[in-house]
Amino acid sequence: PVVITGYESDGDGNPDQQLWYLGSSSSGNTNIIFLNRRNAKLALATNSISRITILGNGNVGIGIASPLAQLHVDGTSDEIQLLVQAHSTQTANVFEQQKSDTTVVILTKNDGSMVLGEATKQTNAGFLQIGGFWTFKEDTAPTADAGYAKMWAEDNNELFYQSGDGATHLLHGDAFSEIWFHNASTVEVSIATEDKFTKIDSFTVVGNEDDLANVVGSAASNDLTLSAIAGGEYEISYHMSMTATGGADKEMVIALGIILATPKDITDVTDDTITPIVITSTAHGLENGDMVEIVGVLGNTAANGSFIVDSKADDTFVIVALDGTATVGNGNFDEGSPTGDVTIEYPGNMVVHREVRGASLGALSATGLHILADSDVLALYVANLDGTTNLTVAAASFDAFRIGD
């Protein structure tokens, strides 16, 4: 071994630090080569411990004696292992990864933003810009972090978005179904009570529907059922050819019914003999002209049945009979349990109100957009405002198609 020791003065004549001095003149520009001619390691050490190692093949290790890559950093404690600190006014890229032809494929900027697959960050890009399609592994629902959104795909062709509160939204995935009826003979819908909605139970065929069971049609229960993740905005349509059974013309109302997965809770109803009846249901979200099915009200049982919504406020609404007459209470509301619920909503924009001919076929149809909740159920309903004459159905179709989130 050879030991070379020199000293550098601190300017006051005090030799205060050891110095290994290379180069004969500070004004020279001759290259200096630090060379180990053997095919062996070259190590730099402090405190008698090797800190930097260069292998014979050129691999450089920091904190490791046998580096596995051209630069291999191996931390010896729980601390930052590699730190790149930009200049305070830096506009150039802080970090670049280039291909062999010097094309930049990864870069980071001083603000922490990153560009993948491109050499230039767009002016209005956010913190991640990707110059190509995005591939990520199919996974299951993650655990939510408040204030942060997440996206993932599952192995059934569905793409999801999760908000910071943990709510999961289906972003893409087929959700549709249809049921229909047509035959050589007609079928009747039995109507037992005047001015009350009855489900149209004429359907016999389940048509096309998505293969993910997000919307499931049933000819047995005559409805379309959303899955537990299929909530969103839907286009809903129905078409019918029908007559009033028996030959006499009858005034009828046909409507889409949304059987609510979470009924709207009723907290108060006006009492005996008060007209019209006023329902209290916090943040009910109903509009004037919508119709509702109310069940479970005790005491003032006149509040149970099928009604038109009128004079709505944020937390209250008036109920009017389907034939337009005012409702009148028949007892004092029982505030015990249960207090009653709105179980079915009949949206006002999906109502056909017409005189149904008894002697000749008539046709009707309706289409509308609706926000549905997970597990809601859709069905068609009819109410006879002129008695209990049945509805004869010659043909009917009913479908729902999810259009987005």
- Check the CA dihedral 51-54-60-66 and report its sign: negative
Residue 197 contacts residue 158 (beta carbons within 8 Å): no
- Collect all residues with Cβ–Cβ distance below 8 Å to 58 and sequence separation of at least 6: 70
Domain 176-257+349-404 bears CATH identifier 1.10.3860.10: no
Q: Write out pLDDT tens, residues 31-64.
A: 878 788 888 899 999 888 889 999 999 999 999 9
Residue 348: strand, helix, or coil: helix
pTM of the model: 0.70
Q: How many CB atoms lie within 10 A of CB 277?
A: 24
CA distance 158 to 140: 11
Adjacent-strand bridge partners of 363: 241
Mean pLDDT of the region 7-20: 62
What's the pLDDT at 33?
Answer: 80
Q: Which residue has the tokens 């997440």?
A: 150
Rounded CA separation 281/266 (Å): 5
21 pLDDT above the threshold of 70: no
> Which of 1.10.10, 1.10.8, 2.40.30, 2.40.10 is the CATH number of 267-339?
2.40.30
Span 191-212, pLDDT tens digits: 999 999 999 999 999 999 998 8
The Cα 234–Cα 322 span in angstroms is: 26
- Confidence label for 10 from pLDDT (cuts 50, 70 and 90): low
Distance CA(372)–CA(264), nearest Å, equals: 14
* Cα Rg, the chain, nearest whole Å: 38
Q: Which two tokens stand for residue 399?
A: 């479908």
Range(s) within the chain of domains with CATH label 2.40.30: 267-339
Paired tokens of 167: 């709510």
Name every residue whose Cβ is closer than 8 Å to that of residue 282 and which is 6 or more positions away in sequence.
265, 267, 315
Mean pLDDT of 124-143: 91
pLDDT score for 170: 76
Domain with CATH 2.60.120.40 in the chain: 176-257+349-404
What is the CA angle 238-243-244, rounded to 5? 120
Give the chain's end-to-end CA distance (angstroms, integer): 75
pLDDT of residue 221: 98
| Residue 7 to residues 4, 16, 19, 20, Cα–Cα distance (Å) | 10, 7, 5, 8
| Helix, coil or strand: residue 302 | helix
Contacts of 166 (CB under 8 A, 6+ apart): 144
